[in-house]
Structure 1
Amino acid sequence: MASDQSNNQSVERAASVLNAFLAGRPELRVSDVAKATGLGTSTASRLLATLESLDFVERDPISGLYRLGTAPITLGGVALNQHPVHREARQIAQDLAAVLGLGANVAVRRGDTMFYLLNFEGRNAPRSFVLTGQRKPLHATGIGKCLLLALDPAERRAMIPRPTGFTPYTITEHERLDEELAVAAHRGYATEIEELALSRACVAAPIRDASGTIVAAISISGPLSVIDLPARQDELARVVIESADSISVGLGYVGPVGPHGSLGSSVPPQAQGPAAPVGQGRG
């Protein structure tokens, strides 16, 4: 039993060392890792040496600073390739970004945050970094709002007791959030306009699995001046809903059953229109 506890503690310490690199600084000294983890300097140094031998971290031979190595990339790639939502969504999201010139993102819920499984940036919405693997708040994002539709108001309040404000436009009152989600549920998509970051907006739609449960969401995002929601919201809503439809079908979702036993479209009437440039909705 003592041996098991010691092994568990070693794993936890190694994980805490790796997590120290998630705080934003790409390179750390041994003392930085020790401070971030609460470990002694000698313990942090030994763990870093072991992780370096396994390619989880690497040490710059000139500065002596540590950064994440290639092993986490390998594990992340395998995890993504094995995730059913990622498999079904990757090509659809890539096509969206290419055709629209905007960002296309897919995320799932992990606790009280949304977790990006993938993102592609179109020519009009470039980024110098990838969103994959990052976490963002549920209540301040279009994807997050879609994921919150899987919960009832009581569950939402328990999960996010005090919604944090990030900009002057963030919804921080539960009653307003309930109203926003009711609108999103009715029309089949959610929007976010400068609620997480100024000058950016998105349109998102929920993705369902074979049981009909919302398991992920997809969004189209970009700078306000490019996404131009006042003029393009209906168009982008139709495209993102049909893209979510395609991914859901790939996951085994057959859609709501109509009054005569036929499958009904998940695209609400107000979002329907001419065929979208990408995505194959059930129609």
Structure 2
Amino acid sequence: MSNGTAERGTNGVQSVDRALGILERLARAGELGVTELAQEMGVHKSTAFRLVTTLEDHGLVEQTEERGKYRLGMGILRLAGATTARLDLVQEARPVCRQLATATGETVNIAVLSDASALYVEQVAGSSALQSHNWVGQHIPLHATSNGKVLLSGLPDDELASLLEDLPSYTELTITARDLLTAELEKVRDEGYAVAVDELEVGLTAAAAPIRSAHGDVIASMSVSGSTYRMSGDALDEVIAHLREAAAEVSRRLGWVGLH
């Protein structure tokens, strides 16, 4: 690494550290001016002003009616709310996931939309899932998985369009044609669940159902996955029945009272 690159990296980390310092100071004091922030942090006033302006652009701080004073902005609540919602989701889903894993003997996962992929946030292995891979914290493609299809099915058309532009193939059964995937998502909306058989990995079958917020929005997906050999025919139908009931239970725990 060149000295110039190292210096930029160091300066970048220092800026992040200082920006976090501003947020912490505002959290303690309530309101502070740029001069006060500069003095407390031991930096030039122009540096403090630049950092505060950047934070303001992102809604993390805002000016009070008294010009020159800053306080934490509504963006902080948005970030905190997203974290709280995810924690609530996992907390409410965990016991239901355990029951579903016991009932089906297969691996149960909870996934949420994360940029252009699905992010696993919870997993419970069933009795048939010997040495199951831990997917928590990992991202998977949307179009080639049952979880992904469910998450896509809950998006408005304008958001959905940008996510259907690049559909790489993982197996011979992966849906890569945009019109076919659009039809598949319509089927997911109508039936209330999605299935992916050998689409991400040959020998792997998964079914997923939506988890809804109190407002009815699809905020997560619950899936049951296992060997294609085991999860086929009547066995798959039975898994889907258990799955839909479990996903609806988590939705009810989150405040949803509607019927699919």
* TM above 0.5: yes
Q: TM-score range by the shorter chain?
A: 0.5 to 0.7
Query: What letter corresponds to residue 242 of structure 1 in structure 2?
Result: E
Structure-2 change in CA distance of 1:82 and 1:110 (3 Å): closer
Contact 2:142 2:152 in 1 (8 A): yes
Contact 1:106 1:217 in 2 (8 A): yes
For 1:127 and 1:118, the matched residues in 2 are separated by 16
Match of 1:116 in 2: 120
Match of 1:242 in 2: 245
Deviation at 1:128, TM superposition (A): 4.7
Query: What letter corresponds to residue 240 of structure 2 in structure 1?
Result: A
Deviation at 1:156, TM superposition (A): 2.0
Q: State the Cα RMSD in Å.
A: 2.4
For 1:188 and 1:130, the matched residues in 2 are separated by 26
Q: TM-score, normalization: structure 2?
A: 0.67
1:75-154 to structure 2, matched below 5 A, reads 83-154=87-158
- Among all aligned residue pairs of Structure 1 and Structure 2, give the percentage whose two residues are the same amino acid: 31
Larger radius of gyration: 2
Q: TM-score, normalization: structure 1?
A: 0.62
Match of 1:252 in 2: 255
SS at match of 1:92: helix
Deviation at 1:80, TM superposition (A): 9.3
Match of 2:174 in 1: 170
Match of 1:208 in 2: 212
Deviation at 1:233, TM superposition (A): 3.0
* Count of aligned pairs between the two proteins: 188
Contact 1:80 1:117 in 2 (8 A): no
Contact 1:153 1:178 in 2 (8 A): no
The structure that is helix-richer by fraction is 2
SS at match of 2:226: strand
Query: What letter corresponds to residue 190 of structure 2 in structure 1?
Result: H
Structure-2 change in CA distance of 1:149 and 1:82 (3 Å): closer
Structure-2 change in CA distance of 1:165 and 1:132 (3 Å): same
Gaps of 5+ in 1: 12-78, 256-264, 267-283
For 1:99 and 1:146, the matched residues in 2 are separated by 22
Q: Which residue of the other structure, out of 161, 185, 194, is the alignment partner of 1:190?
A: 194
For 1:6 and 1:177, the matched residues in 2 are separated by 42
Contact 2:125 2:132 in 1 (8 A): no
